[in-house]
Chain A
């Protein structure tokens, strides 16, 4: 609750900071300080200190799991702001507005991760989506950015429509929006209920860019300004997955037999499409957007397994994935050449930067002694614990091995290939140092 209310307030504060302060540096400082306060407020709530005593028990439940994830999300956003806010200034004139939108997205995330009623879920998802449409199109003069925003908006609103339809069907069959009441009302599987569930499954899959609903992802991630792609592909996506697990564990737990096979097939499809397509990319940015689809496949194991190991794993996985991807995007946003060749010889000129990127890539590939390995480990463990569909797990590890191919291409370019490394902008060079 602390984080929800405060992030909304800070969002408004950021909007006015654009009017009050003339310099971007002041706005940036305000934003970072606000984010730190937000993080502290969330930590306080985890310790039981609540600033706001509204009764929202019918709509939202701020349990420890949700609060923990909110902590991760806010922390990752803080890191994100610290690393990339310089790049953000370059996107356009409205720096304060971008920060404000990010705070509003955080508000949406806190709703999505702690919803208790389908209506709040809908609100949360929409509060996340609308600022994202704007951020995608924030590079106003760039045709690609505009195209991406329009595409994202059209597809996104379509999926929102499907989601509402699903919620309506479920309300029709259950007579309630509250997820924990559904389990008790449910006695027989009604077709209405199952249809509603499938609609929700599809809509959530769209938001989480799970195949076969992933088609918007590469175009939007590629078209959006790199700084915002980084935010969309990591924190927002992880939050949608937390909502996903909450929805399917809470509302449809009894129907697991019906949907688990659907989810299993979707995992296989997502891993396949994401990894295989990423192999053929020539641009690191596009590779990362396909890799984010592939990683969504692993995150979806959390929905599929739906046991304690999966819940823990989802937190570890999303934290590891967010930090590693933010790191790589931060490096990428400083490059002028997004192709693999653009990374040639980076290790020679920027050894520390190259080493950090390598660690991030190793983490994404799931090499032991990185957080990414622990995430994958938990996900696989959770999936094996369910006791069926061992083929899915084997398929997933084969695909993880495929992912090594494209992550290591970047490492190879940085360390083993010679390159004329004059592609970094002089100004950006100063920032790195």
Chain B
């Protein structure tokens, strides 16, 4: 659109390409894993899912603020319709809450975009990077953007829509929401917040990191108390995303690379988790840990895959999440004291959350898979071939990315450096003094 100085510009940098790859891998896996689920009006369902995929890829590739906003909404609306048409019993209310929450966030982001546009007179991303707003204005605009991303990710205290929405959505939509859609928020932080508003990101960094750390511990504690495995996985997702947010605001190379690789790993791992949850629910008709047990005896293959994915979820070495979390913790601990003085306390508290993560994941493993079989799980059978195939793909990806992450890390090199260059606050402050 010429009058508005906005253009349909898409481009795949390392991060965008990785996330598109994640989307591209996930959607076929999602479709295959829900192969046997019978949806009413399956044509509408699949159409909306593909529309959501288009929106997501657009968000990851858009290099124009208005276009970014368009895709941001385009990804949301199909998911809204999917969840409210094919979800659980309380779906209409819950999905509506989710929709309104995210819609408020994205409208505020629109105001932020328009505010920067009123200064730069262009929606192009390079114009945004060169906007150099004064500190006072950045402080305002930061929150307009951050709220949108924080609701999407979600960061404490904007997470209240998430567990309910995950629980009530059809599993295919939950996979999209947690595996891919939350990455929209992280990508927003990395591409549209840090480099565009470096001064404000620096000033508010500690506040935001504290919120995220509270979220990690809080979500882990709640996850520990859950009986429903779907809710457990939902809360564990909040903890993982919180860690990414802390790492983003540490603003160094190790942390940013860790975040990017963790975006990929988390997408794969949580997808695997949901597939297993879906299988269990389909086979046994319940998601309550208290009603399950001893599945390992009846379904050994499923159990093996579950343990691989669960180990990845708690970031044991040789799994992909270990690389990401190691780099992130390394980055948070090694944060430049001029950027944040609280690197060590943040890392320690976040680490506590991760330990709790191990506790509840293993508790779930013990209650669901180990132990004695009961009347419900007695008749259990092992998984079908197509399920073996998709879980196999996920397990292989987990281990390959955990053993040999260099190609991925290498592809993030350029984008990490360019983000760090643009958000180099210390340099900016120095040049402001001269």
Contacts and interface: CB of A to CB of B under 8 A. Distances in A.
A368 interface: yes
A432 interface: no
A405 B96 CA distance: 8
A381 B114 contact: yes
Interface string B94-111: 001001100110011011
Q: Main SS of the interface on chain A?
A: helix
A369 B74 contact: yes
A201 B277 CA distance: 62
A401 B118 contact: no
Contact of A384 (B96, B103, B107, B114): B114
A18 B73 CA distance: 51
A404 B103 contact: yes
Contacts of B92: 412, 416-417
Nearest to B73: A368
Nearest to B118: A384
Contacts of B91: 416
B110 A367 contact: no
Contacts of B114: 377, 380-381, 384, 393
A120 to B, nearest CB: 32
Given A380-B114, A384-B111, A412-B84, A367 B73 contact: yes
A185 B70 CA distance: 47
Interface in A372-429: 377, 380-381, 384-385, 387, 390, 393-394, 397-398, 400-401, 404-405, 408, 412, 415-417
Interface string A286-305: 00000000000000000000
Given A390-B115, A405-B100, A408-B96, A397 B69 contact: no
B111 A394 contact: yes
B110 A397 contact: yes
Nearest to A347: B85
B115 A415 contact: no
Contacts of B118: 381, 384-385, 387
Contacts of B74: 368-369
> Most A CB atoms within 10 A — which of B74, B85, B107?
B107
Nearest to B81: A415
B142 interface: no
A400 B107 contact: yes
B153 to A, nearest CB: 19
A380 B110 CA distance: 9
A404 B99 contact: yes
Contacts of B73: 367-369
A177 B108 CA distance: 43
B85 A368 contact: no
A98 B74 CA distance: 43
Contacts of A394: 108, 111, 144
A397 B144 CA distance: 11
A377 B104 CA distance: 15
B77 interface: yes
B70 A401 contact: no
A315 to B, nearest CB: 13
B299 to A, nearest CB: 35
A136 to B, nearest CB: 35
A384 B100 CA distance: 24
B39 interface: no
A415 B85 contact: yes
B31 interface: no
Contacts of A393: 111, 114
Most buried by A among B74, B92, B103: B103
Contacts of B96: 405, 408, 412
B3 to A, nearest CB: 9
A412 B99 CA distance: 12
Contacts of A387: 118
Nearest to A394: B111
Given A381-B114, A384-B114, A397 B100 contact: no
B149 interface: no
B8 interface: no
Contacts of A417: 92
Interface string B202-222: 000000000000000000000
B117 interface: yes
Contacts of B35: none
B140 interface: yes
A309 to B, nearest CB: 10
Interface string B137-175: 000100010000000000000000000000000000000
Contacts of B108: 394, 397-398
Contacts of B144: 394
A90 B99 CA distance: 40
A401 B110 CA distance: 12
Interface in B34-83: 69-70, 73-74, 77, 81
Nearest to B108: A397
Contacts of A416: 84-85, 91-92
Given A368-B74, A369-B74, A416-B92, A404 B100 contact: yes
A405 B81 CA distance: 15
A393 B104 CA distance: 13
Interface in B288-308: none
B111 A397 contact: yes
Interface in B112-143: 114-115, 117-118, 140
Contacts of B85: 415-416
Contacts of B110: 377, 380, 397
B75 to A, nearest CB: 11
Interface string A126-158: 000000000000000000000000000000000
Interface string B184-201: 000000000000000000
A136 B58 CA distance: 49
Nearest to B141: A390
A380 B109 CA distance: 12
A321 B91 CA distance: 30
Contacts of A405: 96, 100
B393 to A, nearest CB: 34
A381 B118 CA distance: 8
B165 to A, nearest CB: 15
B261 to A, nearest CB: 32
A401 B111 CA distance: 13
B117 A408 contact: no
6 contacts: A368-B73, A384-B114, A384-B118, A398-B107, A401-B100, A416-B84
The 5 A-B pairs with the shortest beta carbon distances in the complex, nearest first, are: A397-B107, A401-B104, A368-B73, A384-B118, A384-B114
Given A412-B84, A415-B85, A416-B85, 17 more contacts: A367-B77, A368-B73, A368-B74, A369-B70, A369-B74, A381-B114, A381-B118, A384-B117, A385-B118, A387-B118, A390-B115, A390-B140, A394-B111, A405-B96, A405-B100, A415-B81, A417-B92
Interface of B: 69-70, 73-74, 77, 81, 84-85, 91-92, 96, 99-100, 103-104, 107-108, 110-111, 114-115, 117-118, 140, 144
